[in-house]
Amino acid sequence: MSRFRLKWGLTVWLAVATGLVVALSWAPVRQLDAFPVILVNVAVASAVVVHFRLGRTDGLTPLLAIGVSLVIAISIVFLVSDEPLGALEALLLGPLTRSTRWSTWITDSITLALLGFAFVIVFQARQISLGADGQLHAGALFGALAAFGIGLPGSVHWLVVLAAAALGGFLLGGLAGVLKARLGANEVVSTLMLNVIALRVYEAVLSGPLLDRSAGYVQSEQFPRGSLLPNLVSHTTITVGLVLVLLAAIALTVYLGSTTSGYRARMVGANAAFARYGGIDERRVVWLSMALSGAIAGLAGAHLVFGVHDRLILNVSIGLGYEGIVVALLARNRPWAVPFCALLYGYLRTGGQILERESDVSYDFVRAVLAVVLLLITAEWFRRSRFSKRVATAGDLVGGEVRAGHG
Protein backbone atom coordinates (compact mmCIF):
# COMPACT_ATOMS: atom_id res chain seq x y z
CA MET A 1 0.00 0.00 0.00
CA SER A 2 2.84 2.43 0.81
CA ARG A 3 4.32 1.83 -2.67
CA PHE A 4 0.93 2.56 -4.20
CA ARG A 5 0.72 5.86 -2.31
CA LEU A 6 4.29 6.74 -3.27
CA LYS A 7 3.52 6.13 -6.94
CA TRP A 8 0.52 8.42 -6.69
CA GLY A 9 2.69 11.02 -4.98
CA LEU A 10 5.25 10.88 -7.76
CA THR A 11 2.44 11.14 -10.31
CA VAL A 12 1.16 14.31 -8.68
CA TRP A 13 4.73 15.64 -8.57
CA LEU A 14 5.09 15.09 -12.31
CA ALA A 15 1.72 16.77 -12.85
CA VAL A 16 2.87 19.82 -10.86
CA ALA A 17 6.15 20.00 -12.75
CA THR A 18 4.35 19.68 -16.09
CA GLY A 19 1.94 22.43 -15.08
CA LEU A 20 4.83 24.73 -14.26
CA VAL A 21 6.48 24.03 -17.59
CA VAL A 22 3.24 24.73 -19.44
CA ALA A 23 2.68 27.88 -17.40
CA LEU A 24 6.07 29.21 -18.46
CA SER A 25 4.57 29.86 -21.89
CA TRP A 26 2.31 32.50 -20.31
CA ALA A 27 3.83 35.97 -20.68
CA PRO A 28 3.68 37.09 -17.00
CA VAL A 29 5.22 33.83 -15.84
CA ARG A 30 8.13 34.03 -18.30
CA GLN A 31 9.42 37.00 -16.29
CA LEU A 32 9.79 34.99 -13.07
CA ASP A 33 13.19 34.30 -11.52
CA ALA A 34 14.31 30.68 -11.79
CA PHE A 35 15.08 30.24 -8.07
CA PRO A 36 11.54 30.75 -6.70
CA VAL A 37 10.01 28.64 -9.48
CA ILE A 38 12.31 25.76 -8.58
CA LEU A 39 11.63 26.34 -4.86
CA VAL A 40 7.86 26.17 -5.38
CA ASN A 41 8.23 22.97 -7.41
CA VAL A 42 10.45 21.30 -4.84
CA ALA A 43 8.25 22.40 -1.92
CA VAL A 44 5.01 21.15 -3.51
CA ALA A 45 6.60 17.92 -4.71
CA SER A 46 8.21 17.18 -1.35
CA ALA A 47 4.95 17.84 0.51
CA VAL A 48 3.00 15.57 -1.83
CA VAL A 49 5.52 12.73 -1.71
CA VAL A 50 5.83 12.88 2.09
CA HIS A 51 2.05 13.01 2.39
CA PHE A 52 1.50 9.91 0.23
CA ARG A 53 4.50 8.09 1.66
CA LEU A 54 3.17 8.43 5.20
CA GLY A 55 -0.39 7.74 4.15
CA ARG A 56 -1.78 10.77 6.02
CA THR A 57 -5.11 11.19 4.24
CA ASP A 58 -6.35 13.78 6.74
CA GLY A 59 -3.59 16.09 5.50
CA LEU A 60 -5.80 16.94 2.53
CA THR A 61 -8.13 18.97 4.77
CA PRO A 62 -5.94 22.10 4.94
CA LEU A 63 -5.31 21.90 1.19
CA LEU A 64 -9.03 21.61 0.57
CA ALA A 65 -9.70 24.58 2.87
CA ILE A 66 -7.14 26.68 1.01
CA GLY A 67 -8.57 25.63 -2.35
CA VAL A 68 -12.11 26.57 -1.34
CA SER A 69 -10.88 29.89 0.05
CA LEU A 70 -9.06 30.71 -3.18
CA VAL A 71 -12.19 29.97 -5.21
CA ILE A 72 -14.13 32.34 -2.97
CA ALA A 73 -11.34 34.91 -3.25
CA ILE A 74 -11.26 34.81 -7.04
CA SER A 75 -15.04 35.22 -7.16
CA ILE A 76 -14.88 38.26 -4.85
CA VAL A 77 -12.08 39.85 -6.88
CA PHE A 78 -14.19 39.65 -10.04
CA LEU A 79 -17.05 41.30 -8.16
CA VAL A 80 -15.21 44.19 -6.50
CA SER A 81 -12.26 44.99 -8.78
CA ASP A 82 -12.33 47.04 -11.97
CA GLU A 83 -9.31 45.08 -13.22
CA PRO A 84 -9.75 41.58 -11.75
CA LEU A 85 -7.13 39.87 -13.92
CA GLY A 86 -4.47 42.37 -12.92
CA ALA A 87 -5.41 42.00 -9.25
CA LEU A 88 -5.23 38.20 -9.42
CA GLU A 89 -1.89 38.39 -11.20
CA ALA A 90 -0.54 40.61 -8.41
CA LEU A 91 -1.85 38.23 -5.72
CA LEU A 92 -0.88 34.90 -7.27
CA LEU A 93 2.29 35.79 -9.19
CA GLY A 94 3.50 39.01 -7.57
CA PRO A 95 5.80 37.37 -4.97
CA LEU A 96 7.76 35.62 -7.74
CA THR A 97 8.31 38.48 -10.17
CA ARG A 98 11.34 40.17 -8.53
CA SER A 99 14.21 39.04 -6.36
CA THR A 100 13.26 41.53 -3.63
CA ARG A 101 9.73 40.12 -3.53
CA TRP A 102 10.56 36.45 -3.29
CA SER A 103 13.26 37.34 -0.76
CA THR A 104 10.56 39.03 1.34
CA TRP A 105 8.36 35.96 0.93
CA ILE A 106 11.06 33.53 2.14
CA THR A 107 12.09 35.87 4.98
CA ASP A 108 8.52 36.18 6.26
CA SER A 109 8.08 32.43 5.94
CA ILE A 110 11.13 31.80 8.14
CA THR A 111 9.64 33.93 10.92
CA LEU A 112 6.21 32.35 10.49
CA ALA A 113 7.71 28.84 10.60
CA LEU A 114 9.53 29.54 13.88
CA LEU A 115 6.34 30.95 15.40
CA GLY A 116 4.40 27.97 14.05
CA PHE A 117 6.83 25.62 15.84
CA ALA A 118 6.28 27.58 19.05
CA PHE A 119 2.52 27.06 18.88
CA VAL A 120 2.83 23.39 17.84
CA ILE A 121 4.64 22.58 21.09
CA VAL A 122 1.99 24.08 23.37
CA PHE A 123 -0.91 22.85 21.24
CA GLN A 124 0.44 19.29 21.44
CA ALA A 125 0.19 19.59 25.23
CA ARG A 126 -3.35 21.06 24.87
CA GLN A 127 -2.31 24.48 26.25
CA ILE A 128 -3.83 27.59 24.67
CA SER A 129 -0.79 29.82 25.12
CA LEU A 130 -0.91 33.13 23.23
CA GLY A 131 2.41 34.46 24.49
CA ALA A 132 4.49 34.15 21.31
CA ASP A 133 4.32 37.88 20.55
CA GLY A 134 5.71 38.84 23.96
CA GLN A 135 8.30 36.07 23.83
CA LEU A 136 9.35 37.31 20.39
CA HIS A 137 10.04 40.77 21.87
CA ALA A 138 11.84 39.23 24.86
CA GLY A 139 14.08 37.26 22.50
CA ALA A 140 14.84 40.36 20.42
CA LEU A 141 15.69 42.36 23.55
CA PHE A 142 17.91 39.68 25.13
CA GLY A 143 19.67 39.20 21.81
CA ALA A 144 20.30 42.95 21.53
CA LEU A 145 21.76 43.08 25.04
CA ALA A 146 24.10 40.21 24.14
CA ALA A 147 25.06 41.90 20.86
CA PHE A 148 25.96 45.23 22.48
CA GLY A 149 27.25 43.91 25.79
CA ILE A 150 29.41 40.96 24.75
CA GLY A 151 32.35 41.42 22.41
CA LEU A 152 33.17 38.20 20.58
CA PRO A 153 34.59 37.15 17.20
CA GLY A 154 32.03 37.23 14.40
CA SER A 155 32.17 33.46 13.90
CA VAL A 156 30.60 32.84 17.31
CA HIS A 157 28.97 36.17 18.21
CA TRP A 158 25.76 35.49 16.26
CA LEU A 159 25.50 32.06 17.90
CA VAL A 160 25.69 33.68 21.34
CA VAL A 161 23.04 36.17 20.23
CA LEU A 162 20.72 33.31 19.19
CA ALA A 163 21.30 31.57 22.53
CA ALA A 164 20.50 34.78 24.43
CA ALA A 165 17.32 35.29 22.39
CA ALA A 166 16.21 31.72 23.09
CA LEU A 167 16.94 32.28 26.80
CA GLY A 168 14.79 35.43 26.87
CA GLY A 169 11.83 33.63 25.29
CA PHE A 170 12.41 30.58 27.50
CA LEU A 171 12.25 32.67 30.70
CA LEU A 172 9.06 34.47 29.70
CA GLY A 173 7.41 31.27 28.49
CA GLY A 174 8.55 29.48 31.64
CA LEU A 175 6.99 32.23 33.77
CA ALA A 176 3.65 31.65 32.05
CA GLY A 177 4.10 27.92 32.59
CA VAL A 178 4.74 28.41 36.32
CA LEU A 179 1.65 30.59 36.63
CA LYS A 180 -0.44 27.83 35.04
CA ALA A 181 1.20 24.81 36.66
CA ARG A 182 1.71 26.12 40.19
CA LEU A 183 -0.99 28.76 40.64
CA GLY A 184 -3.66 27.49 38.24
CA ALA A 185 -3.77 30.77 36.31
CA ASN A 186 -5.61 30.67 33.00
CA GLU A 187 -2.89 30.51 30.33
CA VAL A 188 -4.84 32.64 27.83
CA VAL A 189 -5.20 35.54 30.28
CA SER A 190 -1.69 35.26 31.73
CA THR A 191 0.09 35.08 28.37
CA LEU A 192 -1.88 38.02 26.97
CA MET A 193 -0.99 40.09 30.03
CA LEU A 194 2.66 39.03 29.82
CA ASN A 195 2.65 40.09 26.15
CA VAL A 196 1.73 43.63 27.18
CA ILE A 197 4.38 43.67 29.92
CA ALA A 198 7.08 42.37 27.57
CA LEU A 199 6.17 44.91 24.89
CA ARG A 200 6.27 47.82 27.36
CA VAL A 201 9.64 46.70 28.77
CA TYR A 202 10.96 46.37 25.21
CA GLU A 203 9.79 49.91 24.37
CA ALA A 204 11.21 51.33 27.62
CA VAL A 205 14.66 49.85 27.06
CA LEU A 206 14.66 50.85 23.40
CA SER A 207 13.59 54.42 24.22
CA GLY A 208 16.14 54.67 27.03
CA PRO A 209 19.56 53.02 27.24
CA LEU A 210 19.57 51.52 23.71
CA LEU A 211 18.18 54.55 21.86
CA ASP A 212 20.23 55.90 18.95
CA ARG A 213 19.90 59.61 19.66
CA SER A 214 21.38 60.58 16.29
CA ALA A 215 18.42 58.98 14.46
CA GLY A 216 15.24 60.86 13.74
CA TYR A 217 13.00 58.15 15.18
CA VAL A 218 13.02 55.48 17.86
CA GLN A 219 15.55 52.78 17.04
CA SER A 220 18.80 51.41 18.40
CA GLU A 221 22.20 51.71 16.80
CA GLN A 222 23.05 49.10 14.20
CA PHE A 223 24.22 45.85 15.74
CA PRO A 224 27.89 44.86 15.48
CA ARG A 225 28.45 43.14 12.16
CA GLY A 226 29.60 39.90 13.75
CA SER A 227 26.31 39.56 15.64
CA LEU A 228 24.17 39.68 12.47
CA LEU A 229 22.88 36.42 11.03
CA PRO A 230 24.99 35.32 8.02
CA ASN A 231 23.27 35.58 4.63
CA LEU A 232 22.64 32.48 2.55
CA VAL A 233 21.72 34.39 -0.64
CA SER A 234 23.65 37.56 -1.38
CA HIS A 235 21.77 40.87 -1.64
CA THR A 236 18.73 39.41 0.14
CA THR A 237 17.52 38.98 3.72
CA ILE A 238 17.57 35.18 3.47
CA THR A 239 19.85 34.16 6.34
CA VAL A 240 20.85 31.06 8.28
CA GLY A 241 17.38 31.33 9.80
CA LEU A 242 16.32 29.07 6.92
CA VAL A 243 18.73 26.38 8.16
CA LEU A 244 17.43 26.98 11.69
CA VAL A 245 13.89 26.24 10.50
CA LEU A 246 14.95 22.94 8.93
CA LEU A 247 16.87 21.91 12.05
CA ALA A 248 13.91 22.86 14.25
CA ALA A 249 11.55 20.79 12.11
CA ILE A 250 13.78 17.73 12.50
CA ALA A 251 14.43 18.29 16.19
CA LEU A 252 10.77 18.80 17.10
CA THR A 253 9.66 15.81 15.02
CA VAL A 254 12.13 13.65 16.93
CA TYR A 255 11.30 15.30 20.27
CA LEU A 256 7.54 14.85 20.01
CA GLY A 257 7.65 11.45 18.35
CA SER A 258 10.64 9.64 19.85
CA THR A 259 11.48 11.05 23.28
CA THR A 260 10.02 10.50 26.73
CA SER A 261 9.32 14.21 27.27
CA GLY A 262 7.57 14.46 23.92
CA TYR A 263 5.46 11.40 24.71
CA ARG A 264 4.44 12.91 28.03
CA ALA A 265 3.43 16.16 26.31
CA ARG A 266 1.31 14.27 23.78
CA MET A 267 -0.29 12.17 26.49
CA VAL A 268 -1.22 15.24 28.54
CA GLY A 269 -2.66 16.79 25.39
CA ALA A 270 -4.63 13.67 24.49
CA ASN A 271 -6.03 12.93 27.94
CA ALA A 272 -4.73 14.78 31.00
CA ALA A 273 -6.64 12.58 33.46
CA PHE A 274 -5.23 9.39 31.94
CA ALA A 275 -1.73 10.91 31.93
CA ARG A 276 -2.02 11.71 35.65
CA TYR A 277 -3.29 8.18 36.30
CA GLY A 278 -0.23 6.85 34.46
CA GLY A 279 2.13 8.79 36.73
CA ILE A 280 2.98 11.67 34.40
CA ASP A 281 3.69 14.96 36.18
CA GLU A 282 1.22 17.22 34.36
CA ARG A 283 2.54 20.41 35.94
CA ARG A 284 6.08 19.72 34.74
CA VAL A 285 4.81 18.99 31.23
CA VAL A 286 2.85 22.27 31.13
CA TRP A 287 5.81 24.29 32.37
CA LEU A 288 8.31 22.68 30.02
CA SER A 289 6.04 22.97 26.97
CA MET A 290 5.46 26.67 27.52
CA ALA A 291 9.15 27.32 28.20
CA LEU A 292 10.32 25.49 25.06
CA SER A 293 7.64 27.27 23.05
CA GLY A 294 8.95 30.59 24.37
CA ALA A 295 12.52 29.70 23.41
CA ILE A 296 11.55 29.12 19.78
CA ALA A 297 9.45 32.31 19.69
CA GLY A 298 12.52 34.13 21.03
CA LEU A 299 14.51 32.81 18.06
CA ALA A 300 11.84 34.29 15.78
CA GLY A 301 12.49 37.67 17.41
CA ALA A 302 16.22 37.26 16.86
CA HIS A 303 15.62 36.47 13.21
CA LEU A 304 13.62 39.67 12.77
CA VAL A 305 16.10 42.06 14.38
CA PHE A 306 19.38 40.34 13.45
CA GLY A 307 18.41 39.02 10.03
CA VAL A 308 16.02 41.66 8.69
CA HIS A 309 16.26 45.04 10.46
CA ASP A 310 19.85 44.83 11.80
CA ARG A 311 18.77 46.89 14.84
CA LEU A 312 15.97 47.17 17.37
CA ILE A 313 12.94 49.11 16.12
CA LEU A 314 9.45 49.82 17.39
CA ASN A 315 6.66 47.55 16.14
CA VAL A 316 9.16 44.86 15.26
CA SER A 317 6.46 42.22 14.81
CA ILE A 318 3.20 44.18 14.22
CA GLY A 319 1.15 41.30 15.60
CA LEU A 320 3.13 38.67 13.69
CA GLY A 321 3.35 36.56 16.83
CA TYR A 322 -0.33 35.67 16.59
CA GLU A 323 -0.10 34.60 12.95
CA GLY A 324 1.95 31.59 13.95
CA ILE A 325 -1.35 30.13 15.16
CA VAL A 326 -2.55 29.94 11.56
CA VAL A 327 0.60 28.11 10.49
CA ALA A 328 0.28 25.60 13.34
CA LEU A 329 -3.37 24.94 12.48
CA LEU A 330 -2.59 24.53 8.79
CA ALA A 331 0.14 22.04 9.71
CA ARG A 332 -2.28 20.23 12.03
CA ASN A 333 0.36 20.43 14.79
CA ARG A 334 2.87 18.36 12.79
CA PRO A 335 6.37 19.88 12.97
CA TRP A 336 7.47 18.46 9.60
CA ALA A 337 4.54 20.21 7.88
CA VAL A 338 5.16 23.64 9.45
CA PRO A 339 7.79 24.85 6.91
CA PHE A 340 5.51 24.05 3.95
CA CYS A 341 2.52 25.75 5.56
CA ALA A 342 4.67 28.76 6.47
CA LEU A 343 5.76 29.06 2.82
CA LEU A 344 2.14 28.96 1.71
CA TYR A 345 0.92 31.44 4.30
CA GLY A 346 3.89 33.73 3.71
CA TYR A 347 3.17 33.64 -0.02
CA LEU A 348 -0.39 34.82 0.56
CA ARG A 349 0.81 37.59 2.91
CA THR A 350 3.39 38.86 0.42
CA GLY A 351 0.94 38.57 -2.46
CA GLY A 352 -1.60 40.54 -0.43
CA GLN A 353 0.86 43.39 0.11
CA ILE A 354 1.62 43.51 -3.61
CA LEU A 355 -2.09 43.30 -4.37
CA GLU A 356 -2.77 46.40 -2.27
CA ARG A 357 0.00 48.38 -3.97
CA GLU A 358 -0.74 47.43 -7.57
CA SER A 359 -4.52 47.12 -7.71
CA ASP A 360 -7.74 48.56 -6.32
CA VAL A 361 -8.19 45.71 -3.80
CA SER A 362 -7.27 46.26 -0.14
CA TYR A 363 -5.04 43.96 1.93
CA ASP A 364 -8.06 43.38 4.16
CA PHE A 365 -9.28 41.15 1.36
CA VAL A 366 -6.36 38.77 1.99
CA ARG A 367 -7.15 38.82 5.72
CA ALA A 368 -10.69 37.77 4.86
CA VAL A 369 -9.38 34.88 2.74
CA LEU A 370 -7.14 33.71 5.58
CA ALA A 371 -10.09 33.99 7.98
CA VAL A 372 -12.09 31.66 5.73
CA VAL A 373 -9.18 29.18 5.77
CA LEU A 374 -9.18 29.27 9.58
CA LEU A 375 -12.93 28.83 9.78
CA LEU A 376 -12.87 25.80 7.49
CA ILE A 377 -9.99 24.14 9.34
CA THR A 378 -11.46 24.75 12.79
CA ALA A 379 -14.85 23.54 11.58
CA GLU A 380 -13.22 20.30 10.42
CA TRP A 381 -11.43 19.96 13.77
CA PHE A 382 -14.73 20.52 15.60
CA ARG A 383 -16.44 17.89 13.45
CA ARG A 384 -13.67 15.37 14.13
CA SER A 385 -13.70 16.06 17.89
CA ARG A 386 -17.47 15.55 18.07
CA PHE A 387 -17.16 12.34 16.06
CA SER A 388 -14.39 11.09 18.39
CA LYS A 389 -16.55 11.82 21.43
CA ARG A 390 -19.47 9.90 19.92
CA VAL A 391 -17.20 6.95 19.15
CA ALA A 392 -15.78 7.00 22.69
CA THR A 393 -19.29 7.12 24.18
CA ALA A 394 -20.43 4.21 22.01
CA GLY A 395 -17.33 2.23 23.02
CA ASP A 396 -18.10 2.80 26.69
CA LEU A 397 -21.68 1.61 26.20
CA VAL A 398 -20.59 -1.51 24.33
CA GLY A 399 -17.92 -2.23 26.91
CA GLY A 400 -20.47 -1.88 29.70
CA GLU A 401 -22.83 -4.31 28.01
CA VAL A 402 -20.04 -6.85 27.48
CA ARG A 403 -19.00 -6.63 31.12
CA ALA A 404 -22.62 -6.98 32.21
CA GLY A 405 -23.01 -10.07 30.01
CA HIS A 406 -19.92 -11.70 31.50
CA GLY A 407 -21.17 -10.86 34.95
pTM of the prediction? Answer: 0.79
Task: Assess whether 175 and 255 both reside in one domain.
Answer: yes
Task: Assess whether 128 and 185 both reside in one domain.
Answer: yes
Residue 225 in any domain: the answer is yes
Residue 83 in any domain: the answer is no
Task: Assess whether 162 and 39 both reside in one domain.
Answer: no
- Going by C-beta distance under 8 Å and a sequence separation of 6 or more, which residues neighbour residue 299? 114, 139, 162, 165, 166, 169, 244, 248
Higher pLDDT, 100 or 160: 160
Can you state the percent helix, strand and coil of the chain, rounding each to 5? 80, 0, 20
* 371 pLDDT more than 60: yes
Residue 388 in any domain: the answer is no
Task: Assess whether 156 and 256 both reside in one domain.
Answer: yes
Instruction: Give the side-chain half-sphere CA count within 13 A for 313.
Output: 16
Domain boundary among 316, 343, 370: 343
Cα–Cα distance list, 33 to 96, 103, 107, 358, 403 (Å): 7, 11, 17, 20, 67
> Which pLDDT score is estimated for 380?
60
Task: Assess whether 114 and 42 both reside in one domain.
Answer: no
- pLDDT tens digit sequence for 314-365: 888 877 878 888 899 888 889 999 999 899 888 888 888 888 888 877 777 7
* 10 pLDDT more than 60: no
> Which pLDDT score is estimated for 381?
58
Domain boundary among 295, 325, 343: 343
Averaged pLDDT for residues 88-92: 81
- Check: CB of residue 265 under 8 Å from CB of residue 127: no
Task: Assess whether 212 and 283 both reside in one domain.
Answer: yes
Task: Work out how many domains the chain is built from and give that number.
Answer: 2
pLDDT band for 63, please (50, 70, 90 cuts): low
Task: Assess whether 173 and 305 both reside in one domain.
Answer: yes
Task: Assess whether 148 and 255 both reside in one domain.
Answer: yes
Residue 75 in any domain: the answer is no
Domain boundary among 312, 343, 374: 343
Residue 247's domain spans which residues? 102-343
- Check: CB of residue 274 under 8 Å from CB of residue 266: no
- Check: CB of residue 118 under 8 Å from CB of residue 383: no
- Check: CB of residue 137 under 8 Å from CB of residue 92: no
- pLDDT tens digit sequence for 33-59: 444 444 444 444 444 444 444 444 454
Report d(CA 208, CA 221) in Å as an integer.
Answer: 12
Going 374 to 322 to 167 to 154, the CA torsion angle's sign is: positive
pLDDT band for 240, please (50, 70, 90 cuts): very high
Q: At what angle do helices 34-54 and 338-358 cross, to 10 degrees?
A: 140
Instruction: Find residue 219's DSSP bridge partners.
Output: 313
